[in-house]
Structure formats: structure tokens, C-alpha cells
């Protein structure tokens, strides 16, 4: 009986303290690296294993040793039942809950609500386990159970070790990249201008705002009328779609045009997705560099299919300057705002450390209990703020310091690409200024009193306001410095979010999912003196490369395929796909799509009849 009990305890410890945390982190090791005061994400696995060693082994074995013989038999029975139930819930009913942030918040928490089958089947299977264990113990077949649990323990150990090796390998590569890219770039309060814009030449700037919500812009401009003046000359394109719902599929069209939509990339099915993605990253930099422009790329999205800091694909092109900005100016921002407490360096890592054990519990309990345990993102850690203000500041501080980061030069044209995640980190900010605060006391916003909008809609609104207000300040700076008229600026998002938004409020079936395919798109051309305006033309974010080079003395040919960027533009019907966001799940040659939430879209995106769900057959044919 003791062997059965001990194996059950060890199995539960491995599942909760090793397997679940390591599998979670292995799904995206770079996201958990250099978080707060923790550098190597294996530290989170170590901490979780210590917590669960006490919960699953030390205290149960101590209590077992002090119990009577009959109670020990009961403990052995319960322990074996619990570990089998946990295994069933973790591996057979893991749930598809969408994207999970590094502070363990779900983008779509409503998916945690279990359906009928998720509620009943785990209970039935656990009931069967109870019956089998009871029969085995009654007929003194505990050796069969012991053998099964031994296999479970060994397989769990192998699973955990494999995941930890993957984490260490990914971290080692990432740490080397971080070190190399940080040489000569100190994290300090000394902010040096690094974004070159020409005073006497022409500048082309693409500001890539990850997950910026298109239809929030009119609401934001109505709340802050001064933005309309700051954004003078810009055209706003509300009727815009993205071919990809996630960055992995939504960014390549921005980077390289219509040859890098999911359909076009899948058509080249003899080439690796990562190679096609890297190719897209280099299309515009090479075109502008070959034309004599000074080219600067900041935080290229998913370069070499790494979350950040892998700039190896640019090394063959020394004329292309590549640098990270995200996170470099967080400390400077915090020093300048020392009156605000609760965002010390240990905050983020402390949050992750406390939530990982609770997340392990969430994964091993019955699916019907998971939404309750999640408890609106607090995991019942009632003293914790569910927001990750530090991650937000990593990106927001870049926009905050854009005027000081701008380096005004003479004698050359300039192409600048800046990717920024301010709009990708939905948090409540301090209203009405919408600035970060460790203790937000006012979350008011124009969406709050309308029951149509969720809390996630409101947090997305907050960060979109924050981003546009900081960009507005930068645009004023460009005007004051006399480099606004000679600068073409494109502000674009790779995708939106699955949230209720104003544009699709009247949709009966696809209101939230449509918002994920409606990215922000704003364009200001050279020498435009008109006021801010709106254009209803049907656009996609794959139009960005042709807009960027339109009318300039640069090549219109893709330097890799030789095709004219304008010749491949086709907006008759745009297929918009949902697929995995994780590069590690896209190591093959083609994307695999979730056709249940993919559409073909035409003309006006504001007519629900123009959104046609894609069938498996239609995707296969393409």
C-alpha cells in the first residue's frame, strides 16, 4: 500500500510541479525569459516543483506515516484516484482556451466555460477509474496498479525532462542573441536618438502597432479632439481587413505585400514557413537600401520565427541597421515617474511565480471547475493585481520617448520600420489621461456604460488611447522640427482582437470574431496639407508595401521573387485565416487553418453578408 501511495504522490508531484509548468513554458520559452528579476525560465519550474513537493509528497507522506492501517489504505486509494483523474484532465481534456499571456491571462476567458461534454465525460471517466481501483484493491491486484503508476511516473519524468531541455536550449540561444544585440546599448536613463529621419530628404516610416483596434479610432478622436489636429494629413481606412488573425500570418503581408498572405505562402509549399517569413521581413529594407536609403529596423516581428532579438537574417546586409527598442527605456520611464509605486523589477516575476502553481491546479481539475478557479484572472490570489503593467511599460515607454529617440539627419533619404506592442498589452490605465499606474483608481472610458462591451474591450480601448496619444505628441514634434511634410507615415496593425467593438455591433453572428480581422490602418503622404480624413476604400494590410513605395524612385520588384509588388495586388476576395500563433507549431511548409473561424471577405466589411465562412473544401482547393 505504501508503494502505491508513494507512486501516486510522486506522479501527482511530477504532473503539477514539473510537467505542467515545463510544458507551459516550453510552448514559448522566450516570453518567460528575462521576466522581472528571473532570467532563465527554468527558475519558474524549480519554484513550482518545490511548492508541489511539499503539497504532494512531504506533507502527505508525513500524515500517512502517522495514520492507522485502515486510514493508510484509504489514503492509498484516494491518492491513486486523484493522480489518475489529474492525468485524464491534463492530457485527455486539456481544453482549447486560446492565447495565454506570460502572466497567465487568457485572451478569451469565456472559453473556460465548459460545455456539456467537457462537464460530464471527465466525471464519467473518473468514476470508471474509481470503480477499477476499488476492484483491483479488493481483489488484491494492487501490483497491477503499481505497475501502471510506475509507467505513469516514468513517462511524466521523461516528458518533464524533455520540456526542460527544450526550454534550456531556447533560452541559451535567446540569451546569446540578447547579449549580442545589447552590446553598446545599455539599459539606462541616458536616452540617445537612434531613429534617423532626414530633414532635407524623404522619409518613409511604418509604425507597426500589434493588435491595434481599427474601430476604436473614431471613439478615441471624439474623446480627444486634439488628436485630429495632431494627425492632420492622415487618411483613416476603417474598411480594412487582414488575411491573418495572428502576428504569424498577419505581419508578413505588411512586410512584403500580397506574395506573403497565408494563401500565397501556402502555395509555395516546398519552402519552410520560417524562410518565407524572413524573406518578407527583408523585402522593403532591401528595396529601400538598394535605392540608397538609410534603412533602420526596430523590433522586427518574429524574426527567424523567434519571439524577439534574433536578427541573424539581417547580418548579410550590413547597410540595414537593426535594433531592439522594447524594454530598453522602461527603467528610464519609471525613474521619471517615481511617485508611482508597485512596478518594481520583481513584480512581473513574482506574479508569474505565484500563478504557475495555480495554473497547474487549473489544468488538473475537472474542466467544469476551471472558470471558477481562474476567477477573472486572479486565480483566487486575492491580493494580486491581474494586470501586467511592466510589460505594457516595456512598449509604451518607446512611444513615450519617440521625440527623444528621433535623430534628425541631413543628406540622405530614410526608411524606418518600428514594431511596438503597446496596443497588444491590454490593461486598465489611469483615466482620464490613460497613463500607466501601479494602482489604477479611475477606469472610466466611453465603452464602460454599454453592456455590449466586455472588460477586455475596455482594456484594449485604454491601451489604444495611450498609443495614439503618444504618437500624436511625436507627430507634433515632427511638425515643429520641419520634418513632417517630407515624411510618409503608415500606421498599421497586423490584426485586431476577438472582442466586441463598435464597427460590428449590429452583426448577429460574427460580431467579435470579425474584430480580429479589422486592423488599424492610417496613411499620411508627403506634403499633404488637408485635414485628417476618412477613406472607405476596401483595403488590406497587405497594401502597405505598395503604399510605402508609391511614386518613389525605388524598385517595385520583390528582390527575392522578381515579381512586381503592384502586379500581385488582388482584392476581389480576401481570405482571412485563423491559425496557431506559435512559431514552434509552424515549423513546416504550410499553415494549418482553423476553418471554423476563417472567412472570405469582400467589398464593405461592415455588411455581415460579405463575410463568408470558409469550408474545409474551399481551403483545400486553394
Give the list of residues 6+ apart from residue 442 with CB closer than 8 angstroms, or none.
430, 431, 432
Q: What is the pTM of this model?
A: 0.80
pLDDT value at residue 36: 78
Chain centre distance of CA 95: 19
**Count of residues making up the chain:** 622
Task: Tell me if the bond preceding 55 is cis, omega within 30° of 0.
Answer: no
Give the list of residues 6+ apart from residue 308 with CB closer than 8 angstroms, or none.
30, 174, 299, 324, 326
Which of 63-67, 99-103, 413-417, 507-511 is least confident?
99-103
Strand partners, 197: 408
The pLDDT tens digits of the residues spanning 582-591 come to 998 999 999 9
Q: What's the whole-number mean pLDDT along residues 551-563?
A: 98
Which of 44-53, 84-93, 143-152, 238-247 is least confident?
143-152
**Strand 234-236 relative to strand 521-524: parallel, antiparallel, unpaired?**
antiparallel
In the predicted model, is pLDDT for residue 212 greater than 70? yes
CA angle 334, 337, 338 (to 5 degrees): 80
Q: What's the whole-number mean pLDDT along residues 433-455?
A: 93
Instruction: For residue 438, give the DSSP letter.
Output: S
Q: How far apart are CA 190 and CA 329, in angstroms?
A: 9
pLDDT value at residue 622: 42
Write down all domains in the chain, each with its CATH number in brackets: 2-182+351-377 (no CATH), 195-302+386-568 (3.40.720.10)
In the predicted model, is pLDDT for residue 432 greater than 60? yes
Residue 255 · residue 545 · CB < 8 Å: yes
Q: How far apart are CA 28 and CA 581, in angstroms?
A: 11
pLDDT value at residue 616: 46
- Report residue 162's pLDDT band, with 50, 70 and 90 as the boundaries: very high
pLDDT value at residue 339: 59
The pLDDT tens digits of the residues spanning 23-51 come to 999 998 998 998 878 999 999 999 999 99
Give the list of residues 6+ apart from residue 485 with CB closer than 8 angstroms, or none.
526, 527, 528
Query: What are the CA-CA distances from residue 379 to residues 101, 344, 482, 499 (Å)?
Result: 14, 22, 51, 22
- Report residue 420's pLDDT band, with 50, 70 and 90 as the boundaries: very high
Region at 551 (left for phi over 0; alpha for psi -120 to 50; beta for the rest)? left
Which of 311-320, 321-330, 338-347, 420-429 is least confident?
338-347
Residue 42 · residue 349 · CB < 8 Å: no
| Cell numbers that stand for 359 in this block | 495554473
Provide, rounded to the nearest whole percent, the portion of the chain with pLDDT above 70: 95
In the predicted model, is pLDDT for residue 57 greater than 80? yes
The pLDDT tens digits of the residues spanning 521-537 come to 999 999 998 999 999 99
Residue 4 · residue 145 · CB < 8 Å: yes
Burial of 495 (0-12, 13-18, 19+ CB in 10 A): buried
Which residue, chain included where needed, has cell 504618437?
471
Q: How far apart are CA 219 and CA 519, in angstroms?
A: 15
- Report residue 422's pLDDT band, with 50, 70 and 90 as the boundaries: very high
Q: How far apart are CA 429 and CA 439, in angstroms?
A: 9
Q: How far apart are CA 533 and CA 548, in angstroms?
A: 19
41: helix, strand or coil? coil
Residue 239 · residue 601 · CB < 8 Å: no
Q: What DSSP string runs through 567-589?
A: TT---SSEEEB-B---GGG--SS
pLDDT value at residue 189: 54
Residue 471 · residue 217 · CB < 8 Å: no
- Report residue 617's pLDDT band, with 50, 70 and 90 as the boundaries: very low
Q: What's the whole-number mean pLDDT along residues 467-490?
A: 98
| Cell numbers that stand for 39 in this block | 532570467
- Report residue 411's pLDDT band, with 50, 70 and 90 as the boundaries: confident
pLDDT value at residue 383: 59
pLDDT value at residue 190: 66
Residue 73 · residue 1 · CB < 8 Å: yes
pLDDT value at residue 342: 58
Please compute, for residue 110, the number of CA atoms within 13 A of its CA located in the half-sphere on the CB side.
8
pLDDT value at residue 338: 65
If you average pLDDT over every residue of the chain, what do you get? 92
Which residue, chain included where needed, has cell 513632417?
484
Nearest to 541 by CA among 302, 248, 285, 237: 237
pLDDT value at residue 382: 63
In the predicted model, is pLDDT for residue 404 greater than 70? yes
In the predicted model, is pLDDT for residue 113 greater than 50? yes
| Cell numbers that stand for 168 in this block | 534550456
pLDDT value at residue 466: 98
Q: What DSSP string runs through 584-609?
A: GG--SSS--B-GGG-EEE-S-TTSGG
pLDDT value at residue 176: 87
Q: How far apart are CA 213 and CA 286, in angstroms?
A: 30
- Of 336 and 395, which is predicted with more confidence? 395
pLDDT value at residue 516: 97
Residue 321 · residue 352 · CB < 8 Å: no
Burial of 408 (0-12, 13-18, 19+ CB in 10 A): middle
Region at 78 (left for phi over 0; alpha for psi -120 to 50; beta for the rest)? alpha
In the predicted model, is pLDDT for residue 188 greater than 50? no
Give the list of residues 6+ apart from residue 105 with CB closer than 8 angstroms, or none.
377, 386, 388
Phi, psi of 203 (to 5 degrees): -120, 140
Amino acid at each position: 500500500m505504501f508503494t502505491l501511495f508513494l507512486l501516486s504522490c510522486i506522479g501527482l508531484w511530477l504532473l503539477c510541479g514539473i510537467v505542467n509548468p515545463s510544458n507551459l513554458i516550453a510552448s514559448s520559452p522566450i516570453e518567460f525569459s528575462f521576466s522581472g528579476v528571473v532570467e532563465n525560465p527554468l527558475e519558474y519550474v524549480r519554484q513550482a516543483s518545490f511548492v508541489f513537493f511539499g503539497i504532494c509528497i512531504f506533507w502527505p507522506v508525513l500524515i500517512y506515516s502517522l495514520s492507522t492501517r485502515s486510514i493508510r489504505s484509504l489514503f492509498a486509494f484516494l491518492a491513486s484516484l486523484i493522480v489518475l483523474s489529474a492525468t485524464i484532465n491534463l492530457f485527455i481534456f486539456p481544453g482549447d482556451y486560446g492565447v495565454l499571456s506570460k502572466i497567465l491571462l487568457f485572451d478569451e476567458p469565456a472559453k473556460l466555460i465548459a460545455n456539456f461534454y467537457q462537464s460530464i465525460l471527465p466525471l464519467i471517466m473518473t468514476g470508471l477509474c474509481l470503480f477499477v481501483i476499488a476492484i483491483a484493491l479488493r481483489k488484491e491486484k494492487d501490483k497491477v496498479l503499481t505497475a501502471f503508476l510506475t509507467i505513469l511516473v516514468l513517462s511524466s519524468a521523461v516528458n518533464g525532462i524533455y520540456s526542460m531541455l527544450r526550454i534550456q536550449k531556447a533560452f541559451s540561444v535567446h540569451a546569446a542573441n540578447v547579449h549580442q544585440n545589447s552590446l553598446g546599448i545599455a539599459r539606462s536613463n541616458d536616452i540617445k536618438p537612434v531613429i534617423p529621419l532626414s530633414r532635407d530628404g524623404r522619409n518613409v516610416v511604418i509604425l507597426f502597432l500589434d493588435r491595434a483596434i481599427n474601430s476604436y479610432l473614431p471613439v478615441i478622436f471624439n474623446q480627444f479632439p486634439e488628436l485630429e489636429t495632431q494627425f492632420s494629413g492622415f487618411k483613416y481606412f476603417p474598411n480594412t481587413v487582414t488575411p491573418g488573425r495572428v502576428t504569424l500570418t498577419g505581419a508578413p503581408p505588411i512586410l512584403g505585400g500580397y506574395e506573403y498572405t497565408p494563401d500565397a505562402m501556402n502555395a509555395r509549399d516546398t519552402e519552410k514557413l520560417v524562410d518565407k517569413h524572413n524573406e518578407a521581413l527583408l523585402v522593403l529594407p532591401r528595396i529601400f537600401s538598394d535605392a540608397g536609403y538609410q534603412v533602420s529596423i526596430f523590433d522586427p516581428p518574429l524574426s527567424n520565427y523567434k519571439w524577439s532579438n534574433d536578427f541573424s537574417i539581417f547580418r548579410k546586409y550590413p547597410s540595414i541597421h537593426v535594433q531592439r527598442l522594447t524594454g530598453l527605456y522602461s527603467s528610464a520611464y519609471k525613474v521619471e515617474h517615481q511617485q508611482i509605486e508597485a512596478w518594481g523589477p520583481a513584480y512581473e516575476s513574482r506574479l508569474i511565480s505565484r500563478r504557475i502553481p495555480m495554473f497547474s491546479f487549473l489544468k488538473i481539475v475537472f474542466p467544469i471547475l476551471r472558470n471558477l478557479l481562474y476567477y477573472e484572472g486572479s486565480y483566487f490570489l486575492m491580493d494580486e493585481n491581474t494586470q501586467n503593467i511592466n510589460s505594457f511599460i516595456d512598449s509604451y515607454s518607446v512611444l513615450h520617448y519617440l521625440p527623444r529617440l528621433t535623430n534628425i539627419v541631413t543628406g540622405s533619404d530614410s526608411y524606418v520600420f518600428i514594431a511596438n506592442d503597446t496596443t497588444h498589452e491590454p490593461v486598465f490605465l489611469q483615466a482620464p489621461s490613460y497613463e500607466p499606474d501601479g494602482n489604477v483608481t479611475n477606469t472610466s472610458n466611453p465603452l464602460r456604460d454599454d453592456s455590449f462591451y466586455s472588460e477586455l474591450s475596455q482594456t484594449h480601448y485604454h491601451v489604444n488611447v495611450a498609443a495614439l496619444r503618444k504618437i500624436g505628441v511625436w507627430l507634433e514634434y515632427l511638425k515643429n522640427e520641419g520634418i513632417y511634410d517630407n515624411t510618409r507615415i503608415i500606421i498599421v496593425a497586423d490584426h485586431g482582437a476577438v472582442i466586441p467593438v463598435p464597427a460590428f455591433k449590429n452583426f448577429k453572428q460574427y460580431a467579435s470574431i470579425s474584430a480580429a480581422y479589422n486592423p488599424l490602418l492610417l496613411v499620411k503622404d508627403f506634403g499633404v496639407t488637408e485635414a485628417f480624413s476618412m477613406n472607405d476604400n476596401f483595403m488590406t494590410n497587405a497594401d502597405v508595401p505598395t503604399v510605402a513605395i508609391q511614386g518613389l524612385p525605388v524598385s517595385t520588384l520583390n528582390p527575392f521573387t522578381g515579381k512586381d509588388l503592384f502586379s500581385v495586388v488582388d482584392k476581389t476576395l480576401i481570405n482571412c485565416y485563423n491559425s496557431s500563433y506559435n512559431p514552434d507549431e509552424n515549423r513546416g511548409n504550410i499553415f494549418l487553418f482553423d476553418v471554423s473561424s476563417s472567412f472570405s471577405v469582400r467589398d464593405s466589411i461592415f455588411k455581415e453578408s460579405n463575410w463568408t465562412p470558409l469550408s474545409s473544401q474551399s481551403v483545400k482547393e486553394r
